[in-house]
Structure 1
Amino acid sequence: MTVGTGSQPPDFGAIGNGQTPSASATRLAEAEAKNLMGPKKVRTTIHTLTIIVLWFGAAILLCIFAVRAWHLIGPMSWRWLPAEELQSIDKMLFSSAFGGIVIKYIGDILFDKKSP
C-alpha cells in the first residue's frame, strides 16, 4: 500500500489535507471517546462511594464514642447501657487494630513529621 493512492479508506485520505472527516468517522471517534470515558467514570464512581462510606463510618464511630463518653461523665439516672454492653464498646474502641489506627492518626496530627 502506498501513501496517497486510492487504496486507503476515504476517511484516512482527509488527514492532513484540510478536508473534514466523514460522518462515519465522526461517529466512530465519538464511540471511541465514550469507551475511553467508561473506565474513568467507573473509577470516579468507586472513589465517590469510598468517600461516602468513610464519612459514614466516621459518623458512626463518633456516635459510639459520644455514647461511651456520656456513660463516663453523665449522671447515673441518664445512663441506659448495661456494663456488658459498655465493655463491648470498650473492646471495639480500644482494640489493637482500631487503637493502632487512631493512635497513628492522632500522632500524625499532634507530631507533624514535616516540621523540624
Structure 2
Amino acid sequence: MKVRGLRGATTVARNDREEILRATRELMEEIVRANDIDVDDVASVILTMTPDLNAAFPAFAVRQLPGWQWVPLMCATEINVPGSLPRSIRVLVHLNTEKRQDELVHVYLGEAVQLRPDIATR
C-alpha cells in the first residue's frame, strides 16, 4: 500500500465562520465520496486558506465529520501571490491506498475549478 496525495479546493463568498465551515465540510465530504475513502486509511490532512480568510479554522469542520477526530490535521495560510484566487480553502489529504495516482479523484468546487481545470471534476 502506498501513501498518495489527494487534492481539493473550494471558495467562499465572504470571510464568515459558518461559510468557511460549511464549505470545508462540503469539500471533504465530496472528496470522501468521490474516492470511497475509509477514514482509517487517512494518514493526515493539511488545510490552507488564503490570507483574506481568518474567521474559522477549517480543521474544526473536518473534526466534526464522523471518525475524523483522530486524524492529524494542520491549518496554514496559503502564500499570498498577487492576483491569485481569493477566499479559497485548499486541502491535501495523505491517503494510504492501493489506487494508482491517476485513479484518484481530485475535487475542486466553486471558483476553485480554475485552479486545476486539467483535473477538476466539476
TM bin, normalised by shorter chain, reads: under 0.3
Higher strand share: 2
| Bigger radius of gyration | 1
Q: TM-score, normalised by structure 1?
A: 0.22
Instruction: Report which structure shows greater RCO (CA 8 Å, sep ≥6).
Output: 2
